Amino acid sequence: MYSDDVDITVQYVNKTFDITAPEVTTSETRKCPVVAAPSFVASNRKALLSGRPIPAQETRRLKTEIDFSWGDSACACKSTPRPCIFIHGMGVATEKQTNQDSLSSYWGNLTGHAPCCLTIKYAELNTVNTSWTDDTLQQKVCDRTLAVSKTSTKSTIADTIIVTHLLGI
């Protein structure tokens, strides 16, 4: 986990402390600025976050596009090859204005290891100073993804393989 903004010191003490929550009046509460906008979390994701069972009526039933087996001896595409975009996760402080042909510092060398990719592009976005819930970052991810496929439209991503790492749920 990348973090350089929190230092924690742990010290064992024999004495216990009673910590009471401060009483805050409604007028004081109104003075507090909103620092984060609420975002929708689907019930299946709430279950993952809380450790509760995923509701059966909410499980996704996606059609299988390809069959994958660990027993395959050769690396070959079993589907229609498509343009690919790799979108890194948290911890990248730099940002490039356009998709890149490599991002080996994060992904390594994928040449020859992605047979279903007609082309490979990498989005390099600042995920240190911008959170995944930020509207601007989300729009950049959409724009970068739309740019890799000639069959995508302004609002529909088509015929594209999207590989993400730790962008959040």
Q: What is the predicted pLDDT for the residue at 83?
A: 96
The residue ranking higher by pLDDT, 131 or 161, is 161
Residue appearing with tokens 């998709």: 99
Most confident of 10-14, 20-24, 146-150: 146-150
Q: What average pLDDT does the chain have?
A: 80
The residue ranking higher by pLDDT, 85 or 10, is 85
pLDDT tens-digit series, residues 68-105: 555 555 678 888 999 999 999 888 899 999 999 999 99
The residue ranking higher by pLDDT, 33 or 103, is 103
Task: Tell me the pairing of strands 117-123 and 82-87.
Answer: parallel
On whether the CB atoms of residues 131 and 124 are closer than 8 A, the answer is no
- Alpha helices (H) along the chain: 26-31, 43-50, 104-107, 135-146
Q: Please state, in angstroms and rounded to a whole number, the distance separating the CA atoms of residues 151 and 80.
A: 14
| DSSP, residue by residue, 62-102 | PPP-S---TT-SS---SS--EEEEEE--TT-----SS-BS-
pLDDT tens-digit series, residues 52-65: 776 666 655 666 66
pLDDT tens-digit series, residues 118-149: 999 999 999 888 888 888 999 999 999 999 99
